[in-house]
Amino acid sequence: MFSISILVFSLAAAAYRLWRSLAISKDSGNHTASRLKILERSHETGVALSRLVEHDGAGSWPPKASHGDWPSELLPYHEIYMEMIPLLSSANPSLNNDVNIKRLNRFRSLLSKKLSERVDMVGVYELLSSIEAGNWSGCCREAFNGFYCCIAVLRHSYRWAVIPIVKVAQEEKIVDFPSQIDMPWAYLQRHFGVESDSGSNTSNVLHNYNDMGERAYKININISEAVDTTEDAFFRMFYDVEVIAYPMYQDMVSANIAFEQGNKKECLKHMQDINIRLRELLKVFYQNLVESRVAKGMWLRYCQGFQAWGAGRMVDGEYVEFDGVSGSHNLCFMVLDAFLGMKSYMNEQNLCRYIPRNQRLMVATFRKHSFFDKLHADNDQEISHQFGKIIQHLKVFRSAHKNRIMPYLAQPAPERMMMTAGKSFNEPSNDAAHLKLLDNMLVSRLKDTIAVASKLLA
Ligand code: HEM
Do 194 and 163 sit in the same domain of this protein? Answer: yes
Whether 431 is in a domain gets the answer yes
pLDDT score, position 26:
44
- Choose which residue among 328, 436, 448 to substitute to test ligand 1 binding: the one with the highest number of ligand atoms within 8 A of its C-beta: 328
Is 0.75 surpassed by the pTM of this model? Answer: yes
Residue 423 has pLDDT above 80, yes or no: no
Atom of ligand 1 nearest to the CA of 241: 30
The tens digit of pLDDT for each residue in 365-420 reads 999 999 999 998 788 999 999 999 999 999 999 999 999 999 999 999 999 988 77
Nearest CA owner, ligand 1 atom 32: 327
Whether residue 26 is contained in a domain is answered as: no
User: How many Å separate Cα 331 from the centre of its chain?
Assistant: 8
Vertex 82, ends 219 and 294: CA angle to 5°?
A: 20
CATH of the domain at 242: 1.20.58.480
CA distance 372 to 339: 8
Whether residue 29 has pLDDT greater than 90: no
Q: Pick from 170, 205, 222: which residue ends a domain?
A: 222
* pLDDT for res 20: 53
Going from the Cα of 401 to the center of ligand 1, the distance in angstroms, rounded, reads 7
Across residues 68-78, what is the average pLDDT? 97
Please state whether the peptide bond connecting residue 164 to the residue before it is cis, i.e. omega within 30 degrees of 0.
yes
pLDDT value, residue 457? 62
In 3D, which of 241, 253, 328 has the Cα closest to residue 277? 241
Decide whether any atom of ligand 1 lies within 6 Å of the 325 Cβ. Answer: no
Compute the CA torsion angle 24, 27, 31, 32 (nearest 10 deg).
Answer: -90
What was the pLDDT predicted at 418?
81
pLDDT at position 24: 46
Going by pLDDT thresholds of 50, 70 and 90, the confidence category of residue 271 is very high
pLDDT(241) > 70: yes
Same domain as 143, residue 253? no
Q: DSSP letter at 63? A: P
Q: Is 329 annotated as a binding residue?
A: no
Q: Phi/psi of residue 245, each to 5°? A: -70, -30
Q: Is 30 domain-assigned?
A: no
C-alpha 178 to ligand 1 mean position (Å): 31
Cβ of 329 less than 6 Å from ligand 1: no
Average pLDDT score over residue span 243-268? 96
pLDDT value of residue 376: 86
Residues 199 and 315 grouped into a single domain:
no
Q: Name the residue among 382, 367, 388 with its Cα closest to residue 456.
A: 388
Give the Cβ contact number of residue 318 at 10 Å: 8
Are 243 and 185 found together in one domain?
Answer: no
DSSP assignment letter at 314: E
Same domain? 271 vs 299 = yes
Q: Sorting pLDDT into bands at 50, 70 and 90, what band is 2?
A: very low
Gap from CA of 242 to ligand 1 centroid (Å): 15
Burial of 52 (0-12, 13-18, 19+ CB in 10 A): buried
Number of structural domains the chain divides into: 2
pLDDT digits (tens, 9 = 90+) for 148-183: 999 999 999 999 999 999 999 999 999 999 999 999
Ligand 1: does its nearest atom lie under 6 Å from the Cβ of 345? yes
Mutate to test the pocket of ligand 1, among 326, 339, 437, 443 (most ligand atoms within 8 A of CB): 326
Q: What is the 3-state secondary structure (H, E, C) of 107-126?
A: HHHHHHHHHHHHCCHHHHHH
Answer whether residue 389 is part of any domain.
yes
Q: Tell me which residue has its CA closest to atom 7 in ligand 1.
A: 405
Check residue 4 and give its pLDDT.
56
Per DSSP, the three-state class of 287 is helix
Q: Do residue 178 and residue 240 come from a single domain?
A: no
Question: Residue 182 and residue 155: Cα distance in Å, rounded?
Answer: 8
- More confidently predicted of 36 and 360: 360
Query: Does an H or E element contain 4, and which?
Result: helix 2-26
- Domain range for residue 276? 227-456
* CA distance readout (Å), 15 to 12, 20, 24, 293, 313: 5, 9, 14, 14, 47
Q: Is 410 in the pocket of ligand 1 (CB under 6 A)?
A: no
Q: Please indicate, yes or no, if residue 49 is contained in any of the structural domains.
A: no
The answer as to whether 38 is a domain residue is no
- Please check whether residue 28 lies inside any domain of the structure: no
Q: What is the separation, in whole angstroms, between the first and last Cα of the chain? A: 55
